[in-house]
Amino acid sequence: MIKEWATVVSWHNGQAKVSCDVKSSCSSCSSRAGCGSRVLNKLGPQTEHTIVVPSEQPLVVGQKVELGISEGSLLTSAMLVYMTPLFGLFVIAALFQLLFGSDVAAFAGGVLGGVGGFLVARGLSPKLASREAWQPVILNVGLPPDLLRVDTTSSELSQ
């Protein structure tokens, strides 16, 4: 199970809208100075992802929840997104090379196969995403933000 903490944006009728921050692993790597991935991460937008998760327990705006998704569903979706266009590219390029016998035809077949594989992945992803096993679930719920309060006395502040 892959876990991530999120912040509740809203809760209504058993549906919690939560926001997850995009994290970059570049802050913990020892080779930050010469890494190309760090440069690419700085170029891209640093956004938040907002998703809707079922929750029977009433939640408060600002409350932290721990979300979980199974590794199998994440790996399968990654395989679908990356391997389907790649498979289409190679298969259709090879087929066009065999049929027409030229590099230009192989290139055109590769482009058509890659685009076709992308369209196949795009068509299959909503069907797979609707599966119950592929949905994120709430594993743990943190305290509401207004429940915990720390009082300091004036004698503690002067020290």
CA distance 117 to 84: 5
Residue-wise DSSP of 76-127: HHHHHHHHHHHHHHHHHHHHHHHHH-SHHHHHHHHHHHHHHHHHHHHHHHHH
pTM: 0.63
Round the average pLDDT of the chain to a whole number and report it: 83
Identity of the residue numbered 89: L
What is the predicted pLDDT for the residue at 106?
A: 95
- pLDDT value for 115: 96
DSSP string spanning 48-70?
EEEEEEE-SS---TT-EEEEEE-
Q: How far apart are CA 117 and CA 87, in angstroms?
A: 7
Higher pLDDT, 13 or 111: 111
Q: At residue 80, what is the residue type?
A: L
pLDDT 10s digits, 94-147: 999 999 999 999 999 999 999 999 999 999 988 888 888 888 888 988 887 776
For the chain, what percent of residues have pLDDT higher than 70?
75
How many percent of the chain have pLDDT more than 90?
32
Task: Name the pLDDT band for 56 (thresholds 50, 70, 90).
Answer: confident
With bands split at pLDDT 50, 70 and 90, how would you rate the model's confidence at 26? low
Q: Which residue has the tokens 């760090």?
A: 38
Contacts 24+ apart (CB under 8 A), 90-93: 92/116
Contact 65, 138 (CB under 8 A): yes
Strand-pairing partners, residue 137, are: 68
